[in-house]
Chain A
Amino acid sequence: DAKTTQPTSMDCAEGRAANLPCNHSTISGNEYVYWYRQIHSQGPQYIIHGLKNNETNEMASLIITEDRKSSTLILPHATLRDTAVYYCIVPIYNQGGKLIFGQGTELSVKP
């Protein structure tokens, strides 16, 4: 199972880019990296996922290093509503694709 490591917390100024790192050095060649976030008192929300190419959608960009051992989630213009806990997860494919959540990164966007 590929474990992920994230900083416990980060701050970001409103309007600036938030760059959230994740280490997944034991990831296998065919395993995706998924990012979710949980805003207080809500269920987790899917953000983006990728295999080896950089990905972008309406919420964020995902940059995956060439060796695939780490990735960075980028929120290009953070707003106060982006304050949440962000989780970087690699599914366990040989057990039905289940997701095991770590502690994530608590992002605080400040005015």
Chain B
Amino acid sequence: SAVISQKPSRDICQRGTSLTIQCQVDSQVTMMFWYRQQPGQSLTLIATANQGSEATYESGFVIDKFPISRPNLTFSTLTVSNMSPEDSSIYLCSVARGLDEKLFFGSGTQLSVL
């Protein structure tokens, strides 16, 4: 299994500010993904974090709003920029050792934007 540490676990932020969420894994992993879960909804994939290159974003998500870094095989960050109340969600980091490997999830970051 992979142990994922996601920080912060929760935060309350003001409109117009930015928050960076960190995802640290206890071992090297090939795949890293960022998901969002809005209240009462299923998970929505934001992007695939690619090591050493730009992230691959899903439809409806853009780099300016959700910049992602992945400097190595154990760490990634997701920034939620210029936040609005609509960004209030749980943000989840997930990892897999490789293709056809099970996905492990962090415990998530509960974000509330006022």
Contacts and interface: CB of A to CB of B under 8 A. Distances in A.
Interface of A: 32, 34, 36, 38, 42-46, 49, 85, 87, 91, 93, 95-104
Interface string B52-64: 0000100000000
Contacts of A99: 33, 45, 94, 103
B74 to A, nearest CB: 18
Given A32-B100, A91-B100, A102-B42, A96 B48 contact: yes
B102 A96 contact: no
Contact of A97 (B44, B56, B100, B104): B100
28 contacts: A32-B100, A34-B102, A34-B103, A42-B107, A42-B108, A43-B94, A43-B106, A43-B108, A44-B92, A45-B105, A46-B102, A46-B103, A46-B104, A85-B42, A91-B100, A95-B48, A95-B56, A96-B56, A96-B99, A97-B31, A97-B100, A97-B101, A98-B31, A98-B33, A99-B94, A100-B45, A101-B35, A104-B42
A5 B111 CA distance: 30
Given A97-B99, A99-B103, 16 more contacts: A32-B100, A34-B103, A42-B107, A42-B108, A43-B94, A43-B107, A43-B108, A45-B105, A87-B42, A95-B48, A96-B48, A98-B31, A98-B45, A98-B48, A102-B42, A104-B42
Interface string B76-97: 0000000000000000101010
Interface residues of B, number: 23
A71 to B, nearest CB: 16
Interface in B25-81: 31, 33, 35, 42-45, 48, 56
A44 B43 contact: yes
Contacts of A32: 100
Contacts of B56: 95-96
Nearest to A48: B102
A44 B100 contact: no
Contact of A93 (B96, B99, B104, B108): B99
A100 B60 CA distance: 14
Contacts of B99: 91, 93, 96-97
